[in-house]
Amino acid sequence: MADPTYAAVPEPAPPGGRAPDPLAAALGNASLLGVGYLLLGRRRLAVAAAVVTVVLVSVLVSVARPWCEAVVVVWWAAGIAHGWFLARGRGGPGAQGGPAVRTRRLVALGVTAPVLLAAGFLRFDAARIERSVTEARESGDCARVLAAQDEVWIGHRIADAPLAARGDKTVKACHRLRAAKADLTTGLTGDTGALKAGFDTLSSVLAQPGNGKTVDAVLDGFLGGLPTENPCRTVTVTDWLRHRRPTHNALDRSADTARRTAPAALVGCGDDLMAGKDWKKARDRYRQLLDQYPGDGLAAKARGGARRATLTIELEDVRDLLDGSTDTQPTYCSRPAKYSGAAPYGKGTNRALFYGNDTYTNKLPGAWRTTDAAHAVLVVCADEEDYGTSVRTCPYENKRFPNFPTDVTFHKIAIPVKVYELRTGKLVADRSVEISGTSCPRKLSYTTYGPTDLGPPSKVYVKASKADVRAGFRSLIHPL
């Protein structure tokens, strides 16, 4: 008995009686929208394929790494291959050709071709934008960078996510540079905290490849703002730049600008401080120039400024120590100080400031005296008078004991004085000035205490005239 034979039964055609077409299925799936599966009547597969595509594209746009593009390409190729082989496995009579097949192929092509053309065009346009961004960045023009990258939209990000992401990275760098520029502008007012923040930002942006020109543009703008209108603020900035730790990159050229700018700023700041009567700070600025830039052309001017400031400081100090009434001794007499601008003590008339015992010193000629330390050579500190050398003894009537006259000895007027040379603050004389005068007048006036007159005192001063007082002090004012 012969073996029975069985004829192959073809797989049922999809609903509607249409035979599957591998080419149409492959073309439809090339759209990444699952159209090929729809042409095969596999709606669930079509929906699943579309969902997977949306997920992959979302990951691609958010992560924007080359491997994400590779995954999408693999998914695209897998969908094409799966559509092709799925249709072949369900081949039937309608798969050989005919109007229905051509219609399905045209539908698949009509959907896929625009998708692929749009993707190609958007990739091309993304490359154009990226070139514009790169050119703007290499010319240091962040404004053009931002304008170019503003053209990027979601289509570009889907078509070429890594390229769009590179543009975003450049934009972020430019935004950081804008913040650095704002900090550095604030820093020009003397805010060293803002200077540090600005340079830290520049340094971090410069560490990213390709940002050299944009960083240079911001740095140039900042350095171009030096010197500022206020020389003391300029000094604050140049001091900070001078002490900034080198980073061995383009930012270090700021030190060269500081060296060029600082000398004029230091002199200008010193002059402004002098005008504002801040003598000590003015001197510090002049001295800073001499210490840091001794060979600069402004060194002579700074030296003169430091000299003027020093003299003013010394004179103000002396005036403070001399403050007080002329009939008492001021602090200067116990704590002398120098005024280097005073004339040296020597031959001729040495004008003096007199303090203490103005009963006698006020009788000195005006040519010997001054009330302004700026015009004085000496400071004379006079103490209370005492009995000096005895001159003559004469008897005077004693009303209480008429038969027993009282002997009265006349003494020169001794005034202890300390004389300081104002130029050096050194003590040049410490002695008593003895003033001569007339003695033994016909009538002796004296002061009594209590109701009883005990007679004249045994010691009295000679009667000194202005000439006598002048003669006593002459050796101090006119040394030999």
pLDDT in tens, 281-328: 999 999 999 999 999 999 999 999 999 999 999 999 999 999 988 889
Residues 6+ apart with CB under 8 A from 284: none
Query: Euclidean distance between the first and final Cα of the chain, in Å?
Result: 168
**Nearest one of 469, 449, 270 to 359, comparing CA atoms:** 469
pLDDT of 217 higher than 60: yes
How do beta strands 406-421 and 459-461 pair? parallel
The pLDDT, as a whole number, for residue 15 is 46
b vs e for 435-456, b when ≥16 Cβ sit within 10 Å of the residue's Cβ? Answer: bbbebeeeeeeeeeeeeeeebb
**Which residue has better confidence, 335 or 50?**
335
- Contact of 328 with 353, CB cutoff 8 Å: no
Residues 66-83 pLDDT 10s: 776 778 788 778 778 888
Q: What is the percent of the chain with per-residue pLDDT over 70, rounded to a whole number? A: 92
Cα–Cα distance, 337 to 339 (Å, whole number): 7
The pLDDT, as a whole number, for residue 19 is 63
pLDDT band, residue 10 (cuts 50/70/90): very low
pLDDT of 3 higher than 60: no
Q: What is the mean pLDDT of the chain?
A: 86
The pLDDT, as a whole number, for residue 8 is 43
Alpha helices by DSSP H, 323-427: 358-361
**Nearest one of 153, 133, 151, 128 to 143, comparing CA atoms:** 133
Q: State how far Cα 159 lies from the chain centre.
A: 47
| In the chain, where the domains are located | 22-135, 171-313, 331-444+452-477
Burial class of residue 297, CB neighbours in 10 A (0-12, 13-18, 19+): exposed
Q: Which residues pair with 410 in a beta bridge?
A: 392, 460
Residues 175-213 pLDDT 10s: 898 999 999 999 999 999 999 999 999 999 999 888 888
pLDDT of 134 higher than 60: yes
